[in-house]
Chain A
Amino acid sequence: EVQLVQSGAEVKKPGESLKISCKGSGYSFTSYWIGWVRQMPGKGLEWMGIIYPGDSDTRYSPSFQGQVTISADKSISTAYLQWSSLKASDTAMYYCARLTDKYGDFRRGYFDYWGQGTLVTVSS
């Protein structure tokens, strides 16, 4: 059974750093891209970026480039999303999701399995 298990909720102050995680199991972690999706309170879904754990190839949405860092440790089947200096506007639920690219091209892929989400609250 494919599972993505995310780290727990975080409460941080503006300016602090943070790294949240997403551990995959039940499939070959190095053979699928993992993506991150933001959902601000009461809002819709925003695609942030993806990483291929096999070689750490990473692609970002222009809206999130430079704002976050996506990484992965294939030895422990875990992907990460990190901030160096949080802002109040980073308050959101963050989901990781596995991307299936049926045709060997992530540009034609889709998210098929999702983590349970990590709620990040940034407040002074």
Chain B
Amino acid sequence: DIVMTQTPLSLSVTPGQPASISCKSSQSLLHSDGKTYLYWYLQKPGQPPQLLIYEVSNRFSGVPDRFSGSGSGTDFTLKISRVEAEDVGVYYCMQSIQLPPFTFGPGTKVDIK
């Protein structure tokens, strides 16, 4: 299985300040079709996960533009340009280039200072 790692595992951010989460995969997520199958999810407290970013850098419908994704190969980053109170929760990266199974990172817990 592809192993996903995330750093940091927890992050405390002042509202209005930026935040950044790193995700690394044990194998390249670049497919022979030229696309990279890396996704980001946010699980707010008491809620199911919600899709933020698909294929490294594409925001899902309704996701604010303060969220952005970047990276390639095995190294990826999720950035929040200005953290808001509603952004608290656990952020997960996920790969889907190798199945089964899709694998998730361990999660990064973000809270507000």
Binding site for B on A (CB under 8 A): 37, 44-49, 59-63, 95, 97, 103, 106-112, 114-117
B96 near A117 with CB under 8 A, answer: no
Complex CA–CA separation, A31 to B13 (angstroms): 41
B88 interface residue (CB < 8 Å to A) = no
Complex CA–CA separation, A112 to B105 (angstroms): 17
A59 near B104 with CB under 8 A, answer: no
B97 near A108 with CB under 8 A, answer: yes
Contact partners of B99 in chain A: CB under 8 A = 59, 106-107
For B48, the closest partner residue in chain A by CB is A114
For B33, the closest partner residue in chain A by CB is A103
Complex CA–CA separation, A55 to B79 (angstroms): 40
A47 near B31 with CB under 8 A, answer: no
Contact partners of A44 in chain B: CB under 8 A = 90, 92, 104-107
From residue A43, how far is it (CB to closest CB) to chain B in Å? 9
* A to B contact number (C-beta, < 8 Å): 69
Binding site for A on B (CB under 8 A): 31, 33, 35, 37, 39, 41, 43, 48-51, 54, 60, 90, 92, 94, 96-107
Contact partners of B104 in chain A: CB under 8 A = 44-47
Contact partners of B107 in chain A: CB under 8 A = 44-45
Contact partners of B90 in chain A: CB under 8 A = 44
B100 near A61 with CB under 8 A, answer: yes
Seed contacts A44-B104, A61-B101; 4 additional CB < 8 Å A-B pairs: A62-B100, A95-B48, A108-B31, A110-B96
From residue B83, how far is it (CB to closest CB) to chain A in Å? 22
Contact partners of B103 in chain A: CB under 8 A = 47
B92 near A108 with CB under 8 A, answer: no
B101 near A63 with CB under 8 A, answer: yes
Can you report 11 A-B residue pairs in the complex whose CB atoms are below 8 A from each other? A44-B90, A45-B49, A60-B100, A61-B100, A95-B49, A103-B33, A107-B97, A108-B35, A108-B96, A110-B37, A110-B54
From residue A26, how far is it (CB to closest CB) to chain B in Å? 14
